C-alpha cells in the first residue's frame, strides 16, 4: 500500500523562522474548546433570552448548522486544503495549511486548527450566514456550525492519537486513515463520510482492508 508521509512519529518540521509564527502553528487539542465553548454559550443565551426562540426551533436550527458544517468541512478539505498551486510560493502555502499534516500525520500539535486560522474563518462564516439568515436565526445556526467544527477538530485528533474501540469512531478512523495512507484524493470527510458518498469520493467499500492501518 502506498504511503505519502515522511514521518509517522509524533514529530514535525519547523515551518517558520520566527519563533512567534511557529508557536501560532502548533496547538494543544484543548484550545478549540477553550476558544469556542464560550461562543456557543453566548449564542445559546442570545437564542433563549434575547430572541426567545422555542426549544424545538433552537434544536432544529442547531441540527441544520451541524449539517451545513459537515458540507463546509468537506468543501474546505477537498477544494482548499488539497489545492496545490503550481508555483514555489503556492507549494509553500499548501504545505503550511495542509501538506505538513500529510507529511507528519502523527504530529500531536498540528491536528486541530490553530486559532490564527479558525477565528478569521469563524468570523467570515458568521457574517456570511448572518447576511443570509438574519441577525436572529444566525445565533442558533452558529451554535450548530461551531459544534460541528469542534466535533471535527476533536475527532481528527482522536483518530490520529487514541486507541479507539467505539464502533462509530473506529469507522471514522479507518475512513481517515485510508485518506492518508491509501488515496489522498478520496475520503475528504473527517467527522462524517456522508458527503464522500454524495460526491462520489468515497473508497470502494467492497475492498476495504484496514488491518494495517489501525
Alpha carbons 173 and 158: distance in angstroms, whole number: 8
Q: How many domains does the chain have?
A: 1
Whether residue 3 is contained in a domain is answered as no
* Phi and psi angles of residue 212, each rounded to the nearest 5 degrees, phi first: -95, 10
Q: Tell me: the pLDDT tens digits for 25-40?
A: 888 999 999 999 999 9
Whether residue 184 is contained in a domain is answered as no
Q: Tell me: the pLDDT tens digits for 115-172?
A: 999 999 999 999 999 999 999 999 999 999 999 999 999 999 999 988 888 999 999 9
Whether residue 133 is contained in a domain is answered as yes
Angle at 15 between CA 14 and CA 21, to 5 degrees: 105
Burial class (CB in 10 A: 0-12, 13-18, 19+), 212: exposed
Whether residue 134 is contained in a domain is answered as yes
Alpha carbons 115 and 178: distance in angstroms, whole number: 27
Whether residue 210 is contained in a domain is answered as no
Range of the domain at 59: 19-164
Residue at grid coordinates 477538530: 153
- Does this model's pTM top 0.85? My answer is yes
Q: Tell me: the pLDDT tens digits for 48-97?
A: 999 999 999 999 999 999 999 999 999 999 999 998 888 887 788 888 87
Q: How many C-alpha atoms does 16 have within 13 Å on its Cβ side?
A: 12
Whether residue 202 is contained in a domain is answered as no
Alpha carbons 161 and 170: distance in angstroms, whole number: 12
Q: Do residues 162 and 183 make contact, with C-beta atoms less than 8 angstroms apart?
A: no
Q: What is the CA radius of gyration of the chain?
A: 18
For residue 50, give the DSSP letter.
I
Whether residue 194 is contained in a domain is answered as no
Q: Tell me: the pLDDT tens digits for 158-191?
A: 999 888 889 999 999 999 999 999 899 999 999 9
- For residue 192, give every residue at least 6 positions away whose Cβ sits within 8 Å of its Cβ, in sequence order, or none: 70, 73, 172
Whether residue 200 is contained in a domain is answered as no
Amino acid at each position: 500500500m502506498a504511503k505519502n508521509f515522511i514521518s509517522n512519529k509524533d514529530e514535525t518540521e519547523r515551518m517558520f523562522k520566527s519563533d512567534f509564527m511557529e508557536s501560532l502553528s502548533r496547538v494543544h487539542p484543548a484550545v478549540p474548546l477553550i476558544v469556542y465553548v464560550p461562543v456557543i454559550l453566548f449564542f445559546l443565551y442570545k437564542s433563549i433570552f434575547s430572541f426567545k426562540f422555542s426549544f424545538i426551533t433552537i434544536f432544529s436550527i442547531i441540527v441544520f448548522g451541524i449539517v451545513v458544517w459537515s458540507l463546509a468541512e468537506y468543501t474546505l478539505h477537498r477544494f482548499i486544503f488539497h489545492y496545490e498551486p503550481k508555483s514555489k510560493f503556492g507549494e509553500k502555502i499548501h504545505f503550511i495549511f495542509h501538506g505538513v499534516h500529510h507529511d507528519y500525520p502523527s504530529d500531536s500539535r498540528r491536528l486541530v486548527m490553530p486559532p490564527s486560522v479558525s477565528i478569521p474563518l469563524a468570523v467570515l462564516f458568521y457574517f456570511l450566514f448572518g447576511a443570509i439568515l438574519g441577525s436572529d436565526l444566525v445565533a442558533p445556526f452558529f451554535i450548530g456550525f461551531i459544534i460541528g467544527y469542534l466535533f471535527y477538530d476533536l475527532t481528527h485528533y482522536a483518530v490520529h492519537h487514541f486507541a479507539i474501540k467505539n464502533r462509530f469512531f473506529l469507522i471514522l478512523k479507518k475512513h481517515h486513515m485510508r485518506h492518508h495512507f491509501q488515496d489522498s484524493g478520496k475520503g475528504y470527510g473527517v467527522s462524517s463520510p456522508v458527503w464522500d458518498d454524495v460526491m462520489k469520493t468515497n473508497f470502494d467499500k467492497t475492498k476495504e482492508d484496514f488491518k494495517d492501518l489501525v
